[in-house]
Structure 1
Amino acid sequence: MITNTELEHKGNLFPGKIVSFSQNVDKLNFTTENGVILQLTIIRGSVIRFRYATDNNFENDFSYAISEDGARGYSKLEVEEKDTHYEVITARIQLHIDKNNLKTTIFDLEGNVICKDDWGFHWEQSYEYGGNIVKMSKAAPQGECYYGLGDKPMHLNLKGKRIENWATDQYAFGKDQDPLYKSVPFYIGMYEERAYGIFFDNTFRTFFDFCNERRNVTSFWAQGGEMNYYFFYGPNMQNVITRYTDLTGKPELPPLWALGYHQCKWSYYPESKVKEVTSKFRELQIPCDAIYLDIDYMEGFRCFTWSKEYFPEPKRMVEELAEDGFKTVVIIDPGIKIDDDYWVYQEAMEKDYFCKRADGPYMRGKVWPGECFFPDFTNPKVREWWSELFKEIIAEIGVKGVWNDMNEPAVMEVPGKTFPNDVRHNYDGNPCSHRKAHNIYGTQMARATYEGVKKFAYPKRPFIITRSAYSGAQRYTSSWTGDNVATWEHLWIANIQAQRMSMSGMSFTGSDIGGFAEHPTGELYARWIQLGVFHPFCRTHSSGDHGNQEPWTFGDEVVDVTRKFVELRYQLLPYLYTMFWEYAEEGIPMLKPLVLYDQNDPQTHYRTDEFIFGNQILVCPVQEPNSKGRRMYIPRGNWYNYWTREYVKGGMEQWVDAELDIIPLFVKEGAIIPKYPIQQYVGEKKIDQLKLEVYYKLGNKEESKVYEDAQDGYDYAKGRFSLRSFSFTGKENEAIIQHHKTGSFITEYETIKIEFVGLPFKIKEVEIDNVKVSLDSIQYNAKENTLVVPSDYAELHIVG
């Protein structure tokens, strides 16, 4: 066994004995003989902040990740001094802090160990840069599993992996490649069905080791800054994620069109090509809401300009696209071309808004326009200036969304693909080097972009998408998973990444459908579109170097598959919008890996392919070529095959048929799934009737919800929304649907069409709000098992 003394000889330093304790309301300070301070902040009964100082000195307390709107407050806090330790008790957990070495052990209220220090906090002094390399190690009991950490392209369960967080432009990345574009230093641990989370809020280059170096130890460390982490207790995994999302911030609702299908390519130009693509979507009746313009729409790749050759009248073009239902989204990168005749460059130079090297010169790097300078988005004045630059694009030309790329930040032709470490940043009044600011640069760019688009799109809602992100970015932006490859392996990776991002508080994420690099086969594209329509963000994007990637380039069969599944997404928009409302309101992940859906089932702990879309739809993509089906695990409970309506018992693996036009889909029994009519774009049609698919369940109630509002704008924040809550109760010869509506928004439709799936009896009697009605008066169709009821009914009772 290695002793602390031996470790100190290796450069690691450890806390000594506790010599004093003090309390100031929710903050508890434990100070050791060698100047280490552990400060515990009780944020909620199940959320505790751990902050360590050395040399009796804390840094200025500042974080970009923490939301001002997060829930605070607790009902119980007791501190007792024992012989060997201090005991801290909240309403949810107990903490023991060892008097000899500051090690902590966290228990639930029944005395079960949730999380225990191994070596605990230790550090090295960084003589190269100053400050400390801060480290934390936790005991990892055999069988503990680990999830989260953002966009990592590896097995969902991170046990045995070592992870690095350093936002990096990784073109055509591979499976298990690390690091990637995002830095989300939050993970979920689960042992004996009790889940907890740790968010290491440190923007330096951070590392996580999940029993890779030492079999029974999990550790995390950073190359600077403080050991500052938040602990979340479940025991339910979803509660861990919702508390983390509450702390780091929940998103606004996006405009409904942003949840439609988007088409993108590097690059659609000139205007005639854009119109050709959009016209083809309408001709083939494949729904589509957004068309993207990549860097070629600019004049020489200068941000906030338009190519006079390719797009001579952008305002007219954007208006004409809007008349056809297309919202225009444009790319904006951080690199500003060094050009004395370029107004954006001139303004930034005059105001001294570009990043500088340690010795004074501007940070100069090559990106698409050639040599560029880069705004310091960690400076609030720069963010305000940047936000004002969007006035013309948004308010005057009418662009509806902005796509931030290359914001890791990415720099070409240099070994690290980014800024040198010595670049200086304002960091909102906490001056620092790029070592500290790198991981949040992209998020602060997205924040400034969001503030600008929101300002000039008002009273409509903004839509932003970013490639690089740090914890908390979900407050401002959606994201995609970066420059993937048109391979079957990348289809598997895309599935993993979307699930992992949802578990990491960033649900509004998707992949480049079909792959960005190289060119997919028609079969791969078809299988990818089937998966992509069940991701919160749904966009085809490609580099264009290897051929076009519009659905019609793969032939009629793939066009038909694409149309079928994009139409299904548009039908499911009320279900998807309700998922997003739950995410925005409660922080509930929009996609749920099986382990998140049912953590008490050991069979789910290592599943990667299957996931729950929302709360009640099970999805499992086909991820191999020439497949006519696949084996998959059906979670515990009972389900209906969406395509065949077959009733299936869960808790087992089984074969599911899936020809090219089928993805395995199952619906939870008792679920009530809302659907809209098929539209070519959001707002094309008046929604004159809501359809509900009701999946019969014998026994206990099943709850379902449908959230609706004006689909854009902020009236919903004033109570002008409609939230319908349904509960289904099934008996052998009858069924009851109770319906309760809140909110002042009046939906366009006055009737609801209900389709019963799996009903074990033929309907003979119907009561609406305790009044018997004739079957003819409610348009009962016995063959389709459908009936039409008023949209304001409170209880529907059917009898066989």
Structure 2
Amino acid sequence: MQIKGKHYRFTVLTSSLIRMEYSPSGRFTDAATQVVTNRNFPKLNYRWIDRPDLLEIITDKVHLYYDKRPFSAQGLSVELNKEFSYFDRVWHFGDRDLDTLKGTARTLDGADGAVTLDEGIVSRHGYSILDDSTSFEVSTVDMDDQQIRLTPRERGAIDLYYFGYQDDYCHAIVDFYHLTGNPPLIPRYALGNWWSRFWPYTSDSYLELMEKFRKEKIPLSVAVLDMDWHLVDIPKKYGNGWTGYTWNRKLFADPPRFLSQLHQLRLKTALNVHPASGIRGFEEAYHQVARKLGLDEGAEETAKFDLTNDKFVKTYFDDVHHPLEDQGVDLWWIDWQQGGLSRIEGLDPLWLLNYYHYRDSQRKGLGLILSRYAGPGSHRYPLGFSGDTVISWKSLNFQPYFTATASNIGYNWWSHDIGGHMGGIHDEELLIRWLQFGVFSPINRLHGTSSDFVNKEPWNMEAPYRQYAIRILQERHRWVPYLYTMDVRSHEKGIPLVLPLYYLNPDKEEAYHSPNEYLFGNQVMVAPTTSAIDRSYRYAKTSVWLPEGTWFDFYKDWKYSGNTRVEMYRRIDETLVFAKAGAIIPLAAHPDNEFGVELPETVEWHIFPGKNNIFTLIEDQKDQRSRSTLTVNWAEGKVELAVATDSSTFAKERSHILCFHAVKADSGLNYKLKIIPGETLDISGFSMAKNADMLPEIKKRMKNSWTGTTQKEQLWALLNQEQSLFDQINILRNHCDDFLFGMLYEPLFIAQSSK
């Protein structure tokens, strides 16, 4: 329903979402824009009061006032209804202080730590504004070639969307996606490990490298070639060698054969392109392009990069990219670094690049590109390439927050240069922590600059870091079944994979002060370690706020009572991942850690006690979908597995193993049980276990420390006595510095959590 005057129009989309338009000419936009693709929302009841000098629109959530004059702070305001909200802030047109929880940024190029973020659409004020006033209207001209017509907006026109969702952040994002388009489904292969390095590989050296990964049992799913795949050393008359589309035959003598060999290894292949310099005279595709564009071939007139030129767009894909794809290229890494200016005033060429490349990638089924963020709505063209960061602890420390906060503007598939890109320091501990974060990131893509001193191959690391790195990369592929299910959830339900803690805990102040913690799907929470270990005690400290409820350390089975902050201490080979009470997490068993992300022959269902739960594992193979649903009912003491597929052939013959965490069992029961589809297992003999005696953990931490033996002996003698928790804490306070106290207090806290 729209309420319209000569120069204004209001559209009530939901009880919390109102579109507000003002047009000097009285022309309003009904077409899709670069940001907004769908304004069809379910009908709702609301009322309005229309007086000569005042319009009021009232839903059950918001109350809008408008004086029917050009939009102004005095004449246009929206307030949240008091009976539905404890927020008392009123938005006035032009307000800049929206106190949003931020969104994301175009790039992290050159960043050594934090960068300034753009605004998001969730706010602690309870409302936010999405400004679509300068976004071009978009209409499709040629469906076959995906060509579009872009129409600039009227100068002076205003097109705003008021989001008044209070602290219902999830609902705000779901409706934002309804307005702008749900995230596409990410191909399964993108969820495995990506190998990338800026390096002049040859076909032989690259295949030898892949064989080394296989020998070390390190699974990969995507192989990336940076710019040296194409001609780089070109005659000066053509300019620099950053842009290129012609294989360097000195390095890759037979590209189709090379790409076929990678496919035989079950690897998808991505090539890097810097398209800014267009198609020049030295390119193999030049003459075909020049003829179609009517260029002076004798003078080698350059086909200038211009996606506002329909003829260039067509030949750019038909004659430059498609032949390379026919050779075996699977996706393009679009490395645009040339700013936001195009031949059309106000039109960002990066947005056009993302739009055209993603739409073109859909010719072969599920689409995928790797490119930079180009503003709200960019989530429709995944994946995000965050850019070239400095290799530093500050850069690592910023990335968990950066990744989670991007969900506030719906951008949920960031891909970072795991390990950092350039400069900084060589620190294998830092690389291990970055790899751990990569496992629990949307995309795990290792990448680094062209330097003999930036190496991320695990076998180039010293022991024990080498072994740690291999195990970490193997772990990522174990999580692919869970990740793909969350991928489907994101696409179909509009809920990002990674969310800040305040989405589920908006009333808890601590949730807003835990920037590096995030929800990873709907079953787990992650708190990456982003600081170095203490060199004496050999543990790193991470301050973790646990939301209300019961949580379990996924890898240790320690139980924690939530709604509290705990200083946690972990060794270099330990990652902080927490499963909520009742969590069900399907992982793959990869005994050989093969390349690719094939459907696993064995699924391990990791089950945590505390609450009944149902989890449906979703898997796609070609045009078939399988749904494996595990139901765990602790109250009735039973587990059931049901498998439904679109075909009778796949996912039914595999093995399923139930892995129970943090439980104790009556004699005769095992903590690992096999189950077959249609079977019901009796777990009435299982109950939640208490945390074990933590004195051995205290002793282990003391032994691991590089500190005085006499001090350890004296402290252990005092602790290893029958005494109260209060007495043990006092002993620690009297005999330990702050770091050692925290390190040894944590096990005591864990023991107390079971009582």
Indicate the TM-score class for this superposition, using the shorter chain for normalisation.
0.7 to 0.9
Once the two structures are TM-superposed, the CA of residue 738 in structure 1 deviates from its matched residue by 5.0
Q: Structure 1, residues 333-381: CA drift from partner, whole Å, max 9, x if none?
A: 2223563353555555555599xxxxxxxxxxxxxxx997653334555
Distance 1:384 1:724, change over 3 A: farther
The CA distance in 1 between the partners of 2:61 and 2:508, in whole Å, is: 24
Once the two structures are TM-superposed, the CA of residue 671 in structure 1 deviates from its matched residue by 0.7
Amino acid at match of 2:683: I
RMSD: 3.2
Q: Determine the structure 2 residue equivalent to 1:102.
A: 75
Q: Which moved more, 1:677-686 or 1:278-287?
A: 677-686
Distance 1:139 1:558, change over 3 A: closer
Q: How many residues align?
A: 640
Distance 1:763 1:40, change over 3 A: farther
Q: Determine the structure 1 residue equivalent to 2:221.
A: 289
Once the two structures are TM-superposed, the CA of residue 622 in structure 1 deviates from its matched residue by 1.3
Q: Which moved more, 1:229-238 or 1:284-293?
A: 229-238
Write out aligned runs for 1:397-436 (5 A).
Answer: 397-406=327-336, 410-411=337-338, 418=339, 423-425=342-344, 433=345, 436=346
1:757 aligns with 2:661: yes
Write out aligned runs for 1:172-321 (5 A).
Answer: 172-178=110-116, 186-191=120-125, 195-202=126-133, 226-235=157-166, 236-300=168-232, 301=241, 302-321=243-262
User: Do the aligned residues in 2 keep the contact of 1:400 with 1:462 (CA within 8 Å)?
Assistant: no
Q: Determine the structure 2 residue equivalent to 1:466.
A: 371
User: What TM-score do the two structures reach when normalised by structure 2?
Assistant: 0.78
Q: Determine the structure 2 residue equivalent to 1:609.
A: 516
Q: Secondary structure at the match of 1:511?
A: strand
User: Do the aligned residues in 1 keep the contact of 2:217 with 2:594 (CA within 8 Å)?
Assistant: no
Distance 1:139 1:553, change over 3 A: closer
Once the two structures are TM-superposed, the CA of residue 750 in structure 1 deviates from its matched residue by 4.3
Distance 1:742 1:97, change over 3 A: farther
Write out aligned runs for 1:643-792 (5 A).
Answer: 643-678=555-590, 680-681=593-594, 683=596, 687-697=600-610, 700-710=611-621, 713=622, 715=623, 720-731=624-635, 735-739=637-641, 743-745=645-647, 746-762=650-666, 782=670, 785-792=671-678
Q: Determine the structure 1 residue equivalent to 2:703.
A: none
Choose between structure 1 and 2: higher strand proportion: 1
User: Do the aligned residues in 1 keep the contact of 2:613 with 2:633 (CA within 8 Å)?
Assistant: yes
Q: Secondary structure at the match of 1:147?
A: coil
Q: Structure 1, residues 743-791: CA drift from partner, whole Å, max 9, x if none?
A: 5254153442112212244276xxxxxxxxxxxxxxx6x2xx1111112
Amino acid at match of 1:543: T
Q: Determine the structure 2 residue equivalent to 1:40.
A: 10
The CA distance in 2 between the partners of 1:686 and 1:228, in whole Å, is: 46
User: What TM-score do the two structures reach when normalised by structure 1?
Assistant: 0.74
1:27 aligns with 2:2: yes
Q: Secondary structure at the match of 1:257?
A: helix
User: Do the aligned residues in 1 keep the contact of 2:500 with 2:519 (CA within 8 Å)?
Assistant: yes
User: Do the aligned residues in 2 keep the contact of 1:117 with 1:138 (CA within 8 Å)?
Assistant: no
User: Do the aligned residues in 2 keep the contact of 1:326 with 1:681 (CA within 8 Å)?
Assistant: no
The CA distance in 2 between the partners of 1:490 and 1:786, in whole Å, is: 40
- Mind listing any 5+ residue stretches in structure 2 that lack a counterpart? 137-152, 233-240, 686-755
Distance 1:688 1:556, change over 3 A: same
Once the two structures are TM-superposed, the CA of residue 503 in structure 1 deviates from its matched residue by 2.8
User: Do the aligned residues in 1 keep the contact of 2:551 with 2:562 (CA within 8 Å)?
Assistant: yes
Q: Determine the structure 2 residue equivalent to 1:510.
A: 415
Q: Determine the structure 1 residue equivalent to 2:690.
A: none
Once the two structures are TM-superposed, the CA of residue 479 in structure 1 deviates from its matched residue by 0.9
Q: Secondary structure at the match of 2:104?
A: coil
Amino acid at match of 2:79: I
User: Do the aligned residues in 2 keep the contact of 1:751 with 1:791 (CA within 8 Å)?
Assistant: no
Q: 1:148 aligns with which of 91, 102, 116?
A: 102
1:582 aligns with 2:489: yes
Q: Determine the structure 1 residue equivalent to 2:706.
A: none
Amino acid at match of 1:689: T
Amino acid at match of 1:501: A
Q: Determine the structure 2 residue equivalent to 1:592.
A: 499
Q: Structure 1, residues 197-217: CA drift from partner, whole Å, max 9, x if none?
A: 432225579xxxxxxxxxxxx
Amino acid at match of 1:47: L
Once the two structures are TM-superposed, the CA of residue 266 in structure 1 deviates from its matched residue by 1.0
User: Do the aligned residues in 1 keep the contact of 2:100 with 2:121 (CA within 8 Å)?
Assistant: yes
The CA distance in 2 between the partners of 1:461 and 1:706, in whole Å, is: 20
Once the two structures are TM-superposed, the CA of residue 705 in structure 1 deviates from its matched residue by 2.8
Once the two structures are TM-superposed, the CA of residue 80 in structure 1 deviates from its matched residue by 1.7
The CA distance in 1 between the partners of 2:498 and 2:412, in whole Å, is: 7
Distance 1:797 1:384, change over 3 A: farther
Once the two structures are TM-superposed, the CA of residue 178 in structure 1 deviates from its matched residue by 4.2
Distance 1:799 1:371, change over 3 A: farther
Q: Secondary structure at the match of 1:188?
A: coil
The CA distance in 2 between the partners of 1:267 and 1:351, in whole Å, is: 34
Amino acid at match of 1:241: I
User: Do the aligned residues in 2 keep the contact of 1:574 with 1:674 (CA within 8 Å)?
Assistant: yes
The CA distance in 2 between the partners of 1:375 and 1:763, in whole Å, is: 72
Q: Secondary structure at the match of 2:129?
A: strand
Q: Which moved more, 1:527-536 or 1:744-753?
A: 744-753
Amino acid at match of 1:707: I
User: Do the aligned residues in 1 keep the contact of 2:273 with 2:332 (CA within 8 Å)?
Assistant: yes
Choose between structure 1 and 2: higher helix proportion: 2
The CA distance in 1 between the partners of 2:82 and 2:115, in whole Å, is: 40
The CA distance in 1 between the partners of 2:192 and 2:388, in whole Å, is: 21
Q: Determine the structure 1 residue equivalent to 2:360.
A: 452
Q: 1:530 aligns with which of 417, 436, 452?
A: 436
Q: Which moved more, 1:676-685 or 1:311-320?
A: 676-685
User: Do the aligned residues in 1 keep the contact of 2:186 with 2:368 (CA within 8 Å)?
Assistant: yes
Once the two structures are TM-superposed, the CA of residue 642 in structure 1 deviates from its matched residue by 1.4
Amino acid at match of 1:513: I
Q: Structure 1, residues 290-342: CA drift from partner, whole Å, max 9, x if none?
A: 11111111123453321111111011111112222322211122223563353
Q: Secondary structure at the match of 2:123?
A: strand
Once the two structures are TM-superposed, the CA of residue 385 in structure 1 deviates from its matched residue by 3.8
User: Do the aligned residues in 2 keep the contact of 1:75 with 1:91 (CA within 8 Å)?
Assistant: no
Once the two structures are TM-superposed, the CA of residue 617 in structure 1 deviates from its matched residue by 1.3
Q: Determine the structure 1 residue equivalent to 2:21.
A: 51
Distance 1:58 1:114, change over 3 A: farther
Q: Secondary structure at the match of 2:666?
A: coil
User: Do the aligned residues in 2 keep the contact of 1:622 with 1:629 (CA within 8 Å)?
Assistant: yes
User: Do the aligned residues in 2 keep the contact of 1:693 with 1:755 (CA within 8 Å)?
Assistant: yes
User: Do the aligned residues in 1 keep the contact of 2:109 with 2:386 (CA within 8 Å)?
Assistant: no
Q: Determine the structure 2 residue equivalent to 1:216.
A: none
Once the two structures are TM-superposed, the CA of residue 513 in structure 1 deviates from its matched residue by 0.8
Q: Determine the structure 1 residue equivalent to 2:684.
A: 799
Q: 2:316 aligns with which of 386, 401, 409?
A: 386
The CA distance in 2 between the partners of 1:353 and 1:284, in whole Å, is: 53
The CA distance in 1 between the partners of 2:440 and 2:10, in whole Å, is: 41
Q: Secondary structure at the match of 1:585?
A: helix
Once the two structures are TM-superposed, the CA of residue 53 in structure 1 deviates from its matched residue by 2.5
What is the percentage of aligned positions where both structures have the same residue? Answer: 22
